[in-house]
Structures are given as C-alpha cells and as structure tokens.
Amino acid sequence: MAALPAILSPSLLAADFARLGEEVRTVLAAGADWIHFDVMDNHYVPNLSIGPMVCEAIKPHAGEALIDVHLMVEPVDALVPQFAKAGAGLISFHPEASRHVHRTLALIREQGCKAGLVLNPATPLSVLDHVEDQLDLVLLMSVNPGFGGQSFIAGTLDKLRAVRLRLDAIQQRSGRAIRLEVDGGVKPDNIAAIAAAGADTFVAGSAIFGKPDYAAVIQQLRQAIAAA
C-alpha cells in the first residue's frame, strides 16, 4: 500500500504559552507540517489547557498549516462548531467522551473539518467498527492523556501494527487512505520504530519545544522516519 507522506505535528502543550503565536511561526518555519492543539477540560482528563479562543488567536500565525485539534473533553459536541469557527482543520476526540460517536463524527465533517477518533492505551480497536467510513484519521495515544512529557508506552507498537492492517484493508476496499497518528512520548530515538509499526503522522511536544533548535530536532525526526 502506498504510504502517505509523513506529517509532523508539534504539540503546543510544550510551547511557551506566553509567546504562542511566535512559537507557531517558529516551529512551522523549522519544518513542521501541522500544529497539534491539545484541549483539556479537567473533567475527561485531570488537566486544563487551551480552548477555541486561543485557537482563533494562533490561526493567523499558522498560515496554510492545518490545526490538528485533539479534544480531551467531555462532552464533545458543543465545542466542535466553536473549534471549526476558530480555524481547526482536523478535530479528533475520544469515543468514551461522546454519548453518540457516529453523530459527533458527522458533526465534525458537517462543520467542514476532517474527523479523527482517539484511542487511549486501553481502548480496544473495536471502537473503529461501524465508523470507518467517517474517519480521516485514527490517533493512537502512546501515553495516557492529560500531560506532556510522559514516556512512550511500548505496547503501542503492536497496536499500531494492528491498526495499520485495518487501515490498509480499508484502503484496498475503498481507495480511501486514513491517516494513523501517534501521540505521547515520541522522540528522535523511538520515532523510527513507531514509523516502522505503521504510523504516518507524529505528534511531538517536549521533544521539539523542549530543545533550543526546533529545526535540528525536526530534521532528526524526519531522518529517522525516512530510515525506518
């Protein structure tokens, strides 16, 4: 199956919140593709981050780059139109946080955004059943959601391989390529294994924003993906 080009989506959670617009411009100029925007509500996850107003504020700094909104909120639906209006290009959410997953996916697409479903480390792949034709992306969490800077959970590699097989089968059947994103603990020293397991879209927070030279890390990440 022809692999989609690799996408790097730096997580703003690790950026300097006092200079977010500048951080977005700097990381895109350093070679990032998307901007990963982590939304936490102190309800679905035990942490509080940023919302649609901040998304709207960074949008002009992102140019053509897609804003990859990762909703860790419960309930989900009320925030979907707000993020669509604020400039999100893709909205993903956790199925446990929505009473009606099919309806939420439809709502995201009606609002003109790409739709993604996020699987926690313990969420079974069966949540993908019956909604595959509504998905643009599957996001596998390689840490439990809520905090940046955690360690990659090794079992995610097997899970990635299993999702890769499913997505390849869908592509064979329908011609539709669904992206496979991984989020949590992605670093230059494990991204090759993650790519080899089938991911094509990579979130990295502390690995990029924790370093003085974003371009150097991004180049390192890309080289490791290419070598995988």
Distance CA 164, CA 223 (A): 21
Report the residue from 15, 32, 38, 208 that binds Zn ion according to the rule CB under 5 A: 38
Question: Within positions 89 to 118, which residues make up the interface with ligand DX5, using CB under 6 A?
Answer: none
Residue 200 among the catalytic residues: no
**Is 12 in a helix, a strand, or coil?**
helix
Closest to ligand DX5 by CB, 52 or 185: 185
Distance CA 69, CA 89 (A): 8
Which string of x and - marks every residue 133-172 that binds ligand DX5 (by CB under 6 A)? ----------x-xxxxxx----------------------
Indicate whether 36 belongs to the interface with ligand DX5 (CB under 6 A): yes
Distance CA 20, CA 54 (A): 9
Angle in degrees, 0-180, between the axes of helices 20-29 and 214-227, rounded to the nearest 10: 50
Total binding residues toward Zn ion, as defined by CB under 5 A: 3
Total residues belonging to the chain: 228
Give the range of 39-47, 107-115, 169-177, 181-189 binding Zn ion by CB under 5 A: 181-189
CB 88 within 8 A of CB 113: yes
Indicate whether 194 belongs to the interface with ligand DX5 (CB under 6 A): no
Helix (H) or strand (E) holding 105: helix 101-110
Active-site option among 41, 68, 136, 183 = 183
Q: Which residue has the tokens 């989609």?
A: 4
Closest to ligand DX5 by CB, 63 or 149: 149
Indicate whether 63 belongs to the interface with ligand DX5 (CB under 6 A): no
Closest to Zn ion by CB, 70 or 94: 70
Nearest CA among 166, 157, 174 for reference residue 128: 166
The contact set with ligand DX5 (CB under 6 A) reads 11, 13-14, 36, 38, 70, 143, 145-150, 183-186, 203-207
**Which residues are known to be catalytic?**
38, 183
